[in-house]
Structure 1
Amino acid sequence: MSDTSGFSNAERDAMKQRAAELKAMKGVKGAARRAKEYEDCLSAIEGLEGADRQIAERLHVIVSEEAPGLHPKTWYGFPSYARDDKVIVFYQPASKFKSRYGSIGFNDDAALDDGEFWSTAFAVLEITEAVERKLRALVRKAAG
């Protein structure tokens, strides 16, 4: 259900979640900030269920192995991975917006540019061996 603002309740909740993330980090710097962001990311993953949780857990391992320079955090409540505080890759769980599938997305700072046209988000129902191979390559490329 939505009101006249054009945003659904889930979208407004996500915006509130992002505001809370920013407020929680105000004044927290350095190693303490990284530790809190890491814990927040793990908590976001632990709060998921079923396929969402399995995908988020596997993405966490893949990013840790393929792009160790990216640090875990949350972004709009999503498990996310950033460089220089700019989110590179994130998982948007299906449960967040009651969609049919979750998606793994890449933001502007991801090094995925391929000419004039390229994908920045991928629907995912499960991470099979084939999906994992593709995802590992994308994460490596995105991290630069």
Structure 2
Amino acid sequence: MADKKPAKAATGKAAAKTAPRFTAEERAAMRERSRELKQSKSRADGEADLLAKIAEMTGSDRQIAERLHALITATAPDLEPKTWYGMPAYARDGAVLCFFQPAAKFKARYATLGFNDKAMLDDGSMWPTTFAITALTPEGEKRVVELIERAVG
């Protein structure tokens, strides 16, 4: 049997046609992040941007985001409200600690409350960092407060 040469990888335009593409929602989020990075903002400006993003939401996304904002700012008033990839987020020392991803943003089945690696949620060698939210019940609100308290250390 003759030795076969390995197939060449596609390059140039051919590679662009076969490469995975970002969705329109992902491209929009990246454009929003680029704008966020170009603008230096005060805490008040960051909170105004966050509240404007919440105001753009509809239905349960908006209800959940409004309640999360109230819970997070009451539980950890030292966190800085801002937007991150066009989503409501809360930072400490410039680094995003947690964020809310509305279901509609990426046409998902549910909204999520996510935590970045700065959050102190460590629990052994494996722990959750993103939580699905379909509605905020009193039990869910209690869980959010516990997570935020733990995340800020």
TM-score by length of 2: 0.85
C-alpha separation between the residues in 2 aligned to 1:95 and 1:83? 27
Stretches of structure 2 lacking an aligned partner (at least 5 in a row): 1-16
* 1:78-125 CA-partner distances (Å, limit 9, x unpaired): 000110011111100001001110000000100101110000000100
Whether 1:22 aligns to 2:31 is: no
Match of 1:67 in 2: 76
Deviation at 1:5, TM superposition (A): 4.5
Question: How far apart, in 1, do the equivalents of 2:89 and 2:142 lie?
Answer: 19
CA RMSD, Structure 1 to Structure 2 (Å): 1.2
Give, in angstroms, the shift of residue 6 of structure 1.
2.8
1: CA distance between counterparts of 2:128 and 2:134? 17
Quote the Cα distance in structure 2 between the aligned partners of 1:73 and 1:81.
6
Residues 10-31 of structure 1, C-alpha deviations (whole Å, 9 max, x = no match):
1111000100111222xx5xxx
Match of 1:44, SS? helix
Aligned to 1:119, the other structure's residue is in SS state: coil
Gaps of 5+ in 1: none
Q: Structure 1: how far apart are the matches of 2:57 and 2:113?
A: 15
Pick from 70, 87, 106: which aligns with 2:115? 106
Q: Alignment partner of 2:31: what SS?
A: helix
Structure 2 residue aligned with 1:115? 124
Alignment pair present for 1:132 and 2:147: no
SS in 1 for 2:114: strand
Name which one, 1 or 2, has greater alpha-carbon Rg. 2
TM-score using structure 1 length? 0.90
Match status 1:97 vs 2:112: no
Match 1:11 to one of 26, 36, 58: 26
Kindly, what percent of the aligned residue pairs are identical? 49
